[in-house]
Amino acid sequence: MNRTTPLVTLELPLRSNPLSPVSVDEDERPVKRFYHYIPLCFAVLFILSPHPSILVVLVNHHLKTLNSPLRFILHLSCIYLLTLLAFSSLIVCVARDPGPVTPENRSTGHADEDAEMSLTEALMGGHDESTNLEGWCRKCQSTKPERAHHCSQCGRCVLKMADHHCAWIGNKCIGHRTHPAFIHFLTALTLLAAYIACVSGPALCYAFTNPYEMDDRTPLHMLFLFSEGFVFSFVIGSFLIYHIYLVSTNQTTLEHLSPFLLLRCLPPLPPSEDSQKLSNPPHEDELSFRQRILVKDAHRHIRLYDIGWRKNWVQVFGWSKKWGLMYRLACGGGSRGDGRSFPRNPRADEMLARLAIELTMVDKQQ
């Protein structure tokens, strides 16, 4: 009896290369619901909330009381310019992908040569992390370039995850392609809040010293503007100063707060018959208390990607096209480079080698 159809049919996706990474299905990633955009709506409301009071204060104080149209136009232009800049960088953060790790030709079923080599080395166990920090993400089943991290909320890896998964910018991560825009957004908000506080502060003092020259409601608007501007400039300004420090030292938030990321960058540990406890490279859960202290102390001095504050800023905010400065000032844009490879600190390898020797010596003494 001849069968025209098999009993069991296995429908498997065909790939031109059997070693090419399996792409993550878009349907398996977390779906964004409407409530994921609620914090973004609140962020927009916070930016727009002072504007009704600003118009009241500027009209009643600078036009009617002080009779100064020049100050009115100047303050109004500066406030709305900073608001426009804040919205321009916010749009970039919301609309732009923070940094796709998956190559663009992955959808056609062809993986690039780097991804194929990384998978082969991962399967054969010959991956040397001391010279190449590109790894393998078990969740994405794909290569993970250096400084890339997997975001559980996005369900994907992000190139150079500079900060965190931020709910205020549309429930997205801050990555290689949105890091300058995020700092631009923080800068515009800080300047806007500080400017509003500086404008409303003297007006509030004038209202208290000259109570009969204006109505009763305008001082309330002044007090609201001064309080909101002071609080927002202090809170967001502190966050901005922290990110300025990170850019100046060429660190991401994860790299600055996670000292044990240095372990994957260590060179091969010196061979020793007395030391059999640590893996090569060692894992965090294998370290003793003294070894953890060594890693944390070394983390304060070892900055893998710090190549000088000027070059660090050029790496994030530099441009190569004409009118690049105007583009940076307008919306921040994205960082230079492909987000997969970065120049290393020339002193980092020596300090990492010293750290590996000290970890081995402590392991012998235990």
**Residues with catalytic annotation?**
166
Return d(Cα 238, Cα 159) in angstroms, integer: 25
If DSSP codes are grouped into helix, strand and coil, which group holds residue 7?
Answer: coil
Among 215, 218, 224, 220, CA closest to 197: 224
Return d(Cα 184, Cα 254) in angstroms, integer: 20
- Residue pair 304/348 in contact (Cβ under 8 Å)? The answer is yes
**DSSP notation for 215-238:** -SSHHHHHHHHHHHHHHHHHHHHH
Strands 142-144 and 135-137: antiparallel
Among 170, 169, 171, 172, CA closest to 161: 172
Among 226, 215, 225, CA closest to 54: 225
Q: What single letter denotes the amino acid at residue 252?
A: T
Return d(Cα 132, Cα 149) in angstroms, integer: 16
Q: What single letter denotes the amino acid at residue 115?
A: A
Return d(Cα 185, Cα 239) in angstroms, integer: 11
Which residues partner with 172 through β-bridges? 166
- Residue pair 146/129 in contact (Cβ under 8 Å)? The answer is no
State the residue for tokens 């429930």: 171
- Residue pair 352/302 in contact (Cβ under 8 Å)? The answer is yes
